[in-house]
Structure formats: structure tokens, C-alpha cells
């Protein structure tokens, strides 16, 4: 029973792996598996956590300390500039200078809180929120670009497979021609050179087939990069893509709504939020402070040592409450310079938005031109195929009746193969142009809906 279940599961898994992959499924797989999407997602999560971090600036700061030491008690008069090497000493100068040590202890806490800050903390939160919006815009831009690249890879694979089909048709025709010429050459009805020429045409058709298969494998490998499925297991469905789309080209849109432009606009907003922080940084800082502490010592004011465990526990308590104002007077020039730098950065980022919009408009116009040309070609290729097929039939008939040459048949076969390739790729060229329009517009949904019809 277990063996049967395992076999059934293996068969079901194999059937799923070989199921034709639609374009919509390929895009969904790419959005789920491609690493750059996960990178952008985690960056957005980090930016969201940064908002909570910025909001903690409203909380009061509380510091606590507990200390136990054994030290000498010698103290001297005199000034000591601020430094971080020599420990501080409290108490009167007792005129002693010996190595006798006593216990000392300390326990206390200090709290500090800014009741108002002229909007500095609000500006900090705004910067964090702008960073999250920018990270979210980056995620959407990454998703958009991955989806667009997946569509392009999928269309490339469909085109490569059509080349294989056309190449196989060319091989079949070249094989039939070689069979005919060899039979006539063996019967001495045709020169042996005709058979050699037919053999060369077959070799050329096989070379084209090898190149087409190589293109298929390269296209599969490219698509595999996005969807996370091994190339050898990729089987796609070209349903609908070999027919011309039913709808016309979409109308022009607002290119500022493209995810690429939106990401850059979010960068501008983030820079503006950082400028507001700088504008609110040159203000006095007000702090309500409070402290409570206790100390213990084993030293007496007359220079004697109390001995034993005296000083190991705090015995003298103090507390304090105050209000402090600090103002960085000399920071004005530096703050103004920072604001000027940030303002210039904002203008540069805004100019990038304009450049992106210009580039998107150019891509839209190029895709429009490509679409018009592809439609014209798609209308002409059926006539090209019909005429090439008729020309091959006539050349074959003339060759069979002895009125034509092998060169005429070979040339007609090549024309037909090229016409079939052009006809197969002309429809895909229309779809690719529509994909270019959707990419420039920044909205792939209409294109995907059209493919699914």
C-alpha cells in the first residue's frame, strides 16, 4: 500500500511539473520566488520598525546605576579640566596621603524628559514614515520590473519554440526534396549534382534547427531565473499569444503613476522630510530632570577609617528636581549649510523624477511605433506565406517535369520557411509591443487580461 501511494504521489508530482505554465502563472511564480522581491520586502519591514523607533523619542530617559568600590580617600584642592581618565573624588580635603582604603557604594537613578521640542520629534517620525513609504515604493517597483522581465522572457521562449516548429517544417521539405532528387539521380534522370544540392539544403535546415533549439534552451534558462523552476521542467502554454490581440493599443497615461516614477517621488518626499528635521534642529532644548541617589563610605571627615563593612551599603540619601535649557549657539552656520545641501539634493531628486517621466514617454512612443509596424507586418505575412507556398508548388512541379532547376526549388523552400517564420513571429511582435506599452504606462494588468482572453 505504501509503495502504491508513493507511486501515485510521484506520478501526480510529475504531472504537475509537466503541466503547461501560463503567462499569468509564470508572473505569479516570479513575484513569489525571485530574491530581489524578498530583499525589498525585508527593507520595507525594517523601515516600518524604524517608525516605532522614532516614536520612542517621546519617552523619558531614565538611567540607573549601582556601584561598589574599595579605594583610597585622599583628596586635594585644585582645578581639573573635563576628562575621562581620572575618577572624581567628593568630600573635604583632609590633608592625608596614604594607601589606606575604605569601602564606597552608590545607588541612584536619573530621569530626563523634553516637554516640547518645536516639532523636532514629529519631524523625526515623518522621516521614518517617509522611509517606509520609499521602501514600499521600491518593493512595488521591484515587483513591476520582475513581472515585466518575466513577460519578456516568456514571449522570447514562445518565439523560440515557433522557430523550432518552422525549422522542423523546413527539414521535412528538404528531406522530401532529397528523397526525390536521389531517386531521380539513381535512375539517371537527374544529375548527381542535384542530389548534392538537396543534401546541402537539408544540412542547412538542420543547422537552423540546432540554432532554434539553442534559442529555446537559452530562453528556458532565462525564464527559469525568474520563476524558480529548473529549465528542463518548464513547459509553457502559448494559447492566445499566437493570435492577434482583440483590443487596440491603450490610451496615453500619466507616467508619474509608473512604479519607477513613484519610487523616485517617494525618494523626494523622504529628502523633504529630512530637510524639515534640519529646519527644527536649531532651537533650544528643554529638559525636565529628576534624580534620586544614595551613597555610602567607610571614611570619616577627620581622616579616620570606619573599618569593617562600613560603606558597603548606601547610608546617605539625596534627591533633586530641575529644569535645564541648552542651546547650540554656534551651530547656526553649520545648520544653514546642511539645509542648503539638503535643498540641493531635493532639487536633484526632483529632476530625476522629470527625467524618468521623459524616458517613459520615449519608451511609450517607441512601443507605439513598434506596435504599428508589427500590425502592418502581421497583416502582410499571411499573403507572404500563401504566395511562397504557391511558388514552391510551381517550382516543384516545374522541376518534376524537367522545366525547372534544383536551385529554383531550393530557393522557393527557403522563401517559404522564412515566410512561415515571419508569420509566426509577427503576432508575437504585436504582443511584445503591447507589453512595451504596458511597461511604459506602469500597469501590466490590461496586458495580462488581454492575454487571458
What's the pLDDT tens digit per position in 359-418? 999 999 999 999 999 999 999 999 999 999 999 889 888 877 777 888 888 889 889 988
pLDDT tens-digit series, residues 214-236 = 999 999 999 999 999 999 999 98
- Is 39 part of any domain? yes
The answer to whether position 343 is within a domain reads yes
- Per residue in 273-289, pLDDT (tens digit) is 999 999 999 999 999 99
Q: Are 159 and 428 in contact (CB under 8 A)?
A: yes
Is 40 a domain residue?
yes
Tell me, yes or no, whether 25 lies in a domain: yes
Please measure the distance between the N-terminal and C-terminal CA atoms of the chain and give it in whole angstroms.
44
For residues 193-202, give the mean pLDDT: 84
Reference 285, options 127, 118, 124; nearest CA is 118
Max Cα distance, the chain (Å): 137
The CA-based angle 331-334-340, given to 5 degrees, is 140
Reported confidence tier of residue 178, pLDDT bands at 50, 70, 90: confident
Alpha helices in 187-305 (DSSP H): 192-227, 259-279
Cell 522542423 -> residue: 168
DSSP character at residue 34 = -
* Domain annotation covers residue 303: yes
**pLDDT value at position 10?**
45
Question: pTM value?
Answer: 0.81
User: Is pLDDT of 251 > 90?
Assistant: no
| Residue among 54, 64, 60, 57 nearest 113 (CA) | 60
Domain that holds residue 288: 19-68+101-452
* C-alpha to C-alpha distance for 381 and 241, rounded to whole angstroms: 16
Residue 150: inside a domain, yes or no?
yes
CATH number of residue 277's parent domain: 1.20.1600.10
How many Cβ atoms are within 10 Å of 405's Cβ, its own excluded? 14
Domain assignment of residue 148, yes or no: yes
Strand order of the β-sheet with 101-113 is: 61-72, 101-113, 285-297, 316-326
Q: Is 85 part of a structural domain of the chain?
A: no
Domain tally, the chain? 1
Amino acid at each position: 500500500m505504501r509503495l502504491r501511494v508513493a507511486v501515485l504521489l510521484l506520478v501526480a508530482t510529475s504531472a504537475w511539473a509537466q503541466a503547461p505554465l501560463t503567462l499569468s502563472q509564470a508572473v505569479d511564480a516570479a513575484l513569489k520566488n525571485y530574491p530581489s522581491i524578498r530583499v525589498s520586502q525585508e527593507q520595507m519591514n525594517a523601515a516600518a520598525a524604524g517608525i516605532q523607533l522614532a516614536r520612542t523619542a517621546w519617552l523619558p530617559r531614565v538611567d540607573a546605576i549601582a556601584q561598589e568600590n574599595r579605594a583610597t580617600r585622599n583628596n586635594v584642592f585644585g582645578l581639573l579640566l573635563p576628562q575621562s581618565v581620572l575618577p572624581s573624588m567628593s568630600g573635604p580635603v583632609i590633608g592625608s596621603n596614604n594607601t589606606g582604603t575604605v569601602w564606597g557604594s552608590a545607588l541612584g537613578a536619573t530621569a530626563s524628559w523634553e516637554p516640547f521640542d518645536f516639532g523636532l520629534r514629529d519631524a523625526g517620525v515623518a522621516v521614518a514614515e517617509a522611509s517606509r513609504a520609499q521602501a514600499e515604493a521600491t518593493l512595488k517597483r521591484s515587483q513591476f520590473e520582475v513581472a515585466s522581465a518575466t513577460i519578456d522572457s516568456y514571449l522570447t521562449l514562445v518565439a523560440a519554440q515557433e522557430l523550432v516548429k518552422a525549422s522542423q517544417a523546413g527539414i521535412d521539405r528538404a528531406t522530401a526534396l532529397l528523397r526525390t532528387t536521389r531517386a531521380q539521380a539513381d535512375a539517371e534522370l537527374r544529375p548527381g549534382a542535384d542530389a548534392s544540392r538537396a543534401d546541402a539544403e537539408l544540412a542547412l535546415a538542420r543547422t537552423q534547427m540546432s540554432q532554434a533549439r539553442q534559442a529555446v534552451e537559452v530562453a528556458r534558462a532565462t525564464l527559469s531565473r525568474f520563476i524558480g523552476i529548473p529549465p528542463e521542467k518548464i513547459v509553457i502554454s502559448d494559447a492566445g499569444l499566437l493570435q492577434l490581440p482583440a483590443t487596440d493599443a491603450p490610451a496615453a497615461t500619466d507616467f508619474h503613476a509608473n512604479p519607477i516614477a513613484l519610487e523616485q517621488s517617494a525618494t523626494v518626499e523622504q529628502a523633504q522630510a529630512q530637510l524639515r528635521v534640519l529646519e527644527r534642529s536649531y532651537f533650544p532644548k528643554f529638559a525636565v530632570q529628576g534624580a534620586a541617589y544614595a551613597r555610602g563610605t567607610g571614611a570619616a571627615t577627620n581622616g579616620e577609617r570606619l573599618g569593617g563593612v562600613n560603606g558597603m551599603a548606601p547610608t546617605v540619601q539625596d534627591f533633586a528636581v530641575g529644569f535645564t535649557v541648552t542651546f547650540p549657539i554656534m551651530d547656526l552656520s553649520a545648520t544653514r549649510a546642511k539645509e542648503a545641501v539638503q535643498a540641493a539634493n531635493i532639487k536633484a531628486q526632483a529632476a530625476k523624477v522629470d527625467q524618468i517621466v521623459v524616458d517613459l514617454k520615449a519608451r511609450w512612443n517607441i512601443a507605439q511605433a513598434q506596435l504599428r509596424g508589427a500590425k502592418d507586418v502581421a497583416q502582410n505575412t499571411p499573403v507572404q506565406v500563401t504566395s511562397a507556398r504557391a511558388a514552391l508548388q510551381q517550382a516543384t512541379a516545374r522541376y518534376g517535369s524537367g522545366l525547372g532547376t534544383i536551385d529554383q526549388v531550393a530557393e522557393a523552400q527557403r522563401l517559404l520557411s522564412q515566410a512561415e517564420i515571419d508569420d509566426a513571429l509577427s503576432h508575437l511582435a504585436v504582443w511584445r509591443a503591447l507589453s512595451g506599452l504596458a511597461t511604459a504606462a506602469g500597469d501590466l494588468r490590461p496586458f495580462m487580461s488581454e492575454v487571458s482572453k
